């Protein structure tokens, strides 16, 4: 039987300060939990219902951490979902390791993307287009925010990421940096060779002035209607598609 203290501990992980303090995070729902259990994350606790066990008994039986068969009300009490009738899992936060973008590779860098839903969607978009390296500014939303993980739909388990000073990082990379700007070159006509770093900016302010100086190639998505702007996640998808379509 799961204790009240364990439920209280999991619930506390909804807040960033406790995730950092405990070096732990949680995911909920069948999709994210199954993806997490099959990933390289260190999973410590698993809460599951009979419904989840009927579908994924091999994953539950093969799990080496603490596991608890619980009622739906326990899942909903511990997590952030209003309804969750399958599973919740707690895992260890990965160390913030840097990596380089090598020749022939693509990466996405995010400059102060604050909305958790946008970050999670961009992670999912990157996974869709086979881009598994993401670099975040220190002001970008927390990767382990439950809203980020849910919006990623399991894609968070298949990408590499780390937080850093983008100014320092981009200045040290050998790959070209492509930035999204309203006054850039039409992406439909730009010479894209399938490698480099795609830099996306803040939802309202765009790419900061200090990073603009490090951009090698400014791109814009041509507008055909009257909308003022595109959501940053949608713009990321359009840019990724053009890179892949041209190569």
> What pTM was computed for the model?
0.95
Averaged pLDDT for residues 46-63: 97
Q: Which two tokens stand for residue 15?
A: 């807040």
- pLDDT-derived band of residue 64, with 50, 70 and 90 as boundaries? very high
Q: What is the CATH number of domain 106-245?
A: 3.40.1280.10
| CATH code of the domain occupying 4-92 | 3.30.1330.30
pLDDT at res. 1 = 74
| pLDDT given at position 247 | 74
pLDDT > 80? residue 223: yes
Q: How confident is the model at residue 2 (pLDDT cuts 50, 70, 90)?
A: confident
Q: For 146-186, where are the E strands, in sequence order? A: 160-164, 177-186
d(CA 190, CA 147): 35
pLDDT of residue 245: 87
Dihedral sign of CA atoms 8, 13, 16, 19 in order: positive
Question: Is residue 16 pLDDT above 90, yes or no?
Answer: yes
| Structure confidence at residue 113 (pLDDT) | 98
Q: Does pLDDT of 174 surpass 80?
A: yes
Q: Judge whether 82 and 76 are in contact, CB under 8 Å.
A: yes
Beta-bridged to residue 137, according to DSSP, are 164
Structure confidence by residue, pLDDT tens digits, 116-168: 999 999 999 999 999 999 999 999 999 999 999 999 999 999 999 999 999 99
In this prediction, residues 161-176 reach a mean pLDDT of 97
Q: Is the pLDDT confidence value at 246 over 80?
A: no
Please state, rounded to an integer, the average pLDDT across all residues of the chain. 96
Rounded Cα distance between 238 and 33, Å, is 29
- Structural domain boundaries in the chain: 4-92, 106-245
When pLDDT is cut at 50, 70 and 90, the band that residue 239 belongs to is very high
CA atoms of 48 and 69, how far apart (whole Å) = 5
């Amino acid at each position: 039987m799961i204790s009240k203290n364990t439920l209280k501990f999991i619930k506390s992980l909804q807040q960033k300060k406790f995730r950092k303090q405990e070096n732990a995070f949680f995911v909920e729902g069948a999709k994210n939990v199954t993806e997490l259990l099959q990933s390289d994350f260190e999973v410590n606790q698993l809460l599951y219902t009979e419904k989840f066990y009927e579908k994924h008994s091999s994953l539950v039986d093969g799990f080496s951490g603490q596991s608890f068969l619980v009622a739906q009300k326990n899942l909903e009490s511990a997590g952030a979902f209003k309804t969750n009738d399958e599973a919740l899992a707690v895992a260890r936060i990965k160390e913030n390791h840097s990596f380089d973008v090598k020749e022939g590779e693509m990466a996405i860098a995010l400059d102060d993307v604050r909305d958790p839903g946008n970050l999670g969607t961009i992670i999912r978009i990157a996974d869709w287009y086979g881009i598994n390296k993401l670099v975040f500014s220190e002001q970008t939303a927390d990767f382990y925010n439950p809203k980020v993980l849910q919006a990623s739909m399991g894609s968070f388990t298949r990408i590499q990421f780390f937080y850093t000073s983008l100014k320092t990082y981009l200045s040290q990379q050998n790959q070209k940096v492509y930035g999204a700007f309203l006054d850039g070159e039409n992406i439909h006509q730009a010479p894209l060779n399938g490698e480099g770093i795609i830099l996306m900016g803040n939802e309202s302010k765009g790419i900061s002035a200090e990073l603009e100086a490090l951009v090698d190639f400014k791109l814009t998505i041509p507008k055909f209607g009257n909308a003022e702007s595109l959501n940053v996640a949608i713009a990321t998808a359009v840019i990724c598609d053009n890179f892949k379509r041209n190569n």
